[in-house]
């Protein structure tokens, strides 16, 4: 019987400790993160890649759109649009991953 009483008491004390939560100010955490020097350097290093990724998406769509007349007899338009979407996403993802890799490799270690 003492075992059950101790078990119940231990559960009630655990619940009282779990109910105490720490208030997290997400805005303050983000501000602190963005004002760290290493993060600012990484963003600065990756900025050319961010610009290239922004330009890559419409460039791929424009190039594939201008090339549609050569594929018209072989593919349907919905299939060609779907392929263009995935090619553009792949290009954009590749540029962003290269930028991330460059930023991580050039940023000094702590």
pLDDT digits (tens, 9 = 90+) for 70-94: 988 899 999 999 999 999 999 989 9
Task: Classify burial at 66, counting beta carbons within 10 Å of its beta carbon; exposed 0-12, middle 13-18, buried 19 or more.
Answer: exposed
Please give the Cα distance from 32 to 53 (Å, whole number).
27
The shares of helix, strand and coil residues in the chain, as percent rounded to the nearest 5, are 80, 0, 20
The pLDDT value given to residue 110 = 62
Model confidence band, residue 48 (pLDDT cutoffs 50, 70, 90): confident
């Amino acid at each position: 019987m003492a075992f059950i009483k101790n078990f119940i008491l231990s559960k009630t004390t655990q619940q009282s400790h779990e109910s105490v939560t720490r208030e997290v100010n997400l805005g303050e955490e983000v501000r602190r993160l963005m004002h760290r020097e290493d993060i600012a350097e990484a963003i600065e290093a990756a900025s050319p890649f961010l610009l290239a990724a922004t330009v890559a998406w419409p460039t791929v769509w424009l190039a594939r759109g201008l090339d549609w007349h050569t594929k018209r007899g072989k593919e349907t338009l919905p299939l060609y649009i779907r392929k263009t979407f995935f090619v553009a996403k792949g290009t954009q993802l590749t540029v962003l991953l290269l930028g991330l890799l460059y930023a991580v490799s050039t940023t000094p270690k702590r």
